[in-house]
Amino acid sequence: MPSSIDSKIPSALHDLPTPEPESPMRPRKPYRFSTLCATVENPDMKDQYGSSSIPIYQTATFKGVSGEYDYTRSGNPTRTHLQHHIAKISSAAHAFTVSSGMACLDVILRLLKPGDEIIAGDDLYGGTNRLLTYIRTHVGVTVHHVDTTKPSTLHPLLHPDKTAMVLLESPTNPLLKICDIATISKDVKERAPNAIVVVDNTMMSPYLQRPLEHGADIVYDSATKYLSGHHDLMAGAVTCNRDDLAKQIAFTINSVGNALTPIDSFLLLRGIKTLALRMDRQQATAQLVAEYLHSLGFRVNYPGIESHPGREIHNRIANGNGAVLSFETESKSLSEKIVGGTRLWGISVSFGAVNSLISMPCVMSHASIDAATRAERGLPEDLIRLCVGIEDPNDLIDDLERALIAAGAIALDVVQNKYVRVEQLANGEAIVQAVQRLRVHDANDLTENREWFVSAPGKVILFGEHAVVHGVTAIAASVDLRCFGLTTPRNDEKLSVHFHDIDGFYQEWDIDSLPWNAVTPVALGEEHPEVLDSKLMEALLLGPLASLGDDKKQARVASLTFLYMYMILTRGDKKPSFDFSARATLPVGAGLGSSASFSACAATTLLLIHKRITPPSLPPPSSTATGHIHTSYQGRRALPPAFAEEVNRWAFVSEKILHGNPSGVDNSVAVYGGALAYTRAGFARKSGMEPIQGFKSLKFLLTNSKVPRDTKKLVAGVGEKKVNEPELVNSILDSIQIISDEARRALADPELPRGTLLAALSALINENHSYLATLGVSHPSLEKIREQTSAPYGLSTKLTGAGGGGCAVTLIPDDFKEDTLKALINNLLEEGFQPYHTSVGGSGLGMLSPYAEHRSGGQVTPPETPAADSSQVIIKENLEPLRPSFENKSVTELSEWAEGLGRWLYV
């Protein structure tokens, strides 16, 4: 048990004044923790009436112009008393109280700036994970999740300049993992001196653990839990010793106005007085409950159990084991029965109150973490968390035992005359779970039990925008900004999607709850009908997607596309369970074909999982016996035409769902890459798409104006202008056709000198843009980009796509100096634009090779050729799953990381 505050903290800060010793031979000792908790005393704030309880200053304002308080948002006497008291019991120089534990983390994370990196644990409270995901998506902060039980796992990620924060929980919630706060704090100070070590201490409270004493810079508690102890208020507490951090935290709290109210400050102060008393009872009972469950044979997570792997470290840092524990049953349905069968244990999220609570984190407190991520982080779906209160321990154990008996988890062994655990084989669930844990799979099921990682490029219209609607040939090419799609097995009869670029949207569905009665699957080898299945579309919109309103329109249509293709591709009763995550390095909604590259990725992964396409076999190696010589093309042209054609057909179906009446250009570029010429049907010229053979990659600067555009309105405007001014518009359309023909011939001519090609394209770009401006589809922002790139750089720029905002394309000559390019990019950034230096005309659809010899990181599929007499193959386990890194890499890191995983196979 804790006895007194660490003597290393300056005692003058918060120690209570004590009477002078009655005799020099018998000096008084510092008050112990429980005395400090119960005795609220601030020598600098004596109550004028000698009140034995801190008054509630229930006021918004204070009179006067030079007093200590003026406005309760900025300061309040009741809150000051509380904060002084919390600092005193936390070994802290500064304490702040806000409206909740998550408000604490929000305030702390505001210390970060775009480009910073956080290292956090892999077993975190669901709300913490949700907020970290938000700042990664919206603030530009990189988040790394690691196993913090091993300090060495942080070392590769600690960077002296980039690492800004290390976020720890110990014990973690809900797996009760222990991290060595002292060692990690020391390592961080040595390897990244400017980084801040932050500890969520909610599971322990200051009574049992004070991380500031072990090197942490900031500690926060959800005071809703143990500090309050009664679940009758929401509050959070932040403590630190550094004056500079305290100043920043105080500024943020005052600015955003989330400081704790006077009445809640009073209630929290009252709750803290009994903290030690409550915790003593709660953790003593928790120890008895943990030992009871452990004796039955359940896997129990609690540092008070001797076999707990972090017990030695925990005992060195903490003064007790806490009152939260968790255990596993190996059956989700059994766990649900146990939780539902209790009476004294309340089914609820949260912990720390005088009343005992029971929950299943994966469906309650941690449900906001998607199932695939939970599985990767080792969070069992069957996990039960117990939060022990102050009831009589015999009553609590009796109630739990009755629930275990009723659920069939334990039964009376007559021979031993005691209850023992029953091996769970009901419905075959335990067998299924055991099989899932084995890394042995039938060779025919590999497509369902591995990660598939694919990518597809965006596209840019080089010539012929708008005119293409009126029968003019358009020239389109791929850009080396890509969408990436990753599927991860779930094996829990659920399907989920994570669209990072649509506000981090995540959704999961029970596969059996999808409207299967509305689907007419497309048979293997057949093509999708010309018209979309309206019955299935309506059933999906009114069923699993009904909760997504117009505020989530983008997410709704993307989810509709994915579910539609998943269901219509399903063969028989085989309904694979997996997660599909999509991220892009190209801007979404800027006219660069982001939806088509998404469609290509979704179509490829779904076709692979439904076994409608298969990756190409490895070619036979060179052989001295036969004289065969194998020439490696490093993955180029590795995906055969039939593979690409099938993907393109289904990518076009996806585009139909997303856009209604697509041309097919965008998805074709996303699949085949390179460049193509497209002429719309219904006009005098020959219609269709033709690849431009011999197209050589070109360097471009794509600049996103960040101005939203209304494509339909712009297209309609050109149509109206054609009606009102037919002679002018028709002459412009004829001129643009000449430009497209010239560009097509130049791009396809292998003998045309590079310099001549670039000079010709530069002139055609300027000419094309002038015609588009005359048609009224430019925008002041696009003209500003043209102006910035023209003088003094002498570059040619035009709008691309619908115009009216969106993107502009600038041709970059081969000999353009790197320093000059950087200066141009900085100028555009200063004007509020977002430039992307990229190449045009590169590879199309790509897939990370499934073969072990091609891989340098990530999960691996079976060897190239299984033994002839074996129907089973072993999946190698020496490489980590891709998903954690895929989720956490920044946009700037994503492409390089993906390339570094090994060989990619391209169309």
Q: What is the CA radius of gyration of the chain?
A: 32
CA distance 265 to 233: 9
Both structure tokens of 276: 């030690």
Give the distance, in angstroms, between the CA of residue 170 and the centroid of all CA atoms in the same chain: 22
Give the distance, in angstroms, between the CA of residue 222 and the centroid of all CA atoms in the same chain: 23
Q: What amino acid is encoded at 510 in this protein?
A: D
CA distance 456 to 468: 24
Other CB atoms closer than 10 Å to residue 521's CB: what's the count? Answer: 15
Q: Is 629 exposed, middle or buried (0-12, 13-18, 19+ CB in 10 A)?
A: exposed
Q: Which helix (H) or strand (E) holds 579?
A: strand 578-584
Supply φ then ψ for residue 582, to 5 degrees: -130, 135
**DSSP one-letter code for 362:** G
- On whether the CB atoms of residues 305 and 291 are closer than 8 A, the answer is yes
- What is the edge-to-edge ordering of all strands in the sheet holding 357-359? 299-301, 324-328, 384-387, 357-359, 346-347
CA distance 594 to 585: 9
Nearest to 262 by CA among 501, 47, 125, 83: 83
**DSSP one-letter code for 428:** G
Q: Which helix (H) or strand (E) holds 453?
A: strand 452-463
Q: What amino acid is encoded at 664 in this protein?
A: G
CA distances from 116 to 102, 108, 142, 826 (A): 20, 14, 6, 20
**DSSP for 794-818?**
---EEEETT-SSSEEEEEE-TT--H
User: Both ends of the chain: CA-CA distance in Å?
Assistant: 66
Which residues on neighbouring strands pair with residue 837, listed in sequence order? 701
Nearest to 806 by CA among 675, 664, 711: 711
344, HSE (Cβ side, Cα atoms, 13 Å): 20
Q: What amino acid is encoded at 543 in this protein?
A: G
Active site residues: 73, 125, 200, 225
- On whether the CB atoms of residues 611 and 477 are closer than 8 A, the answer is no
CA distance 518 to 521: 10
Alpha-carbon dihedral angle through residues 9, 10, 14, 16, given to the nearest 10 degrees:
100
Q: Is the peptide bond before 171 cis (omega within 30 degrees of 0)?
A: yes
Other CB atoms closer than 10 Å to residue 20's CB: what's the count? Answer: 7
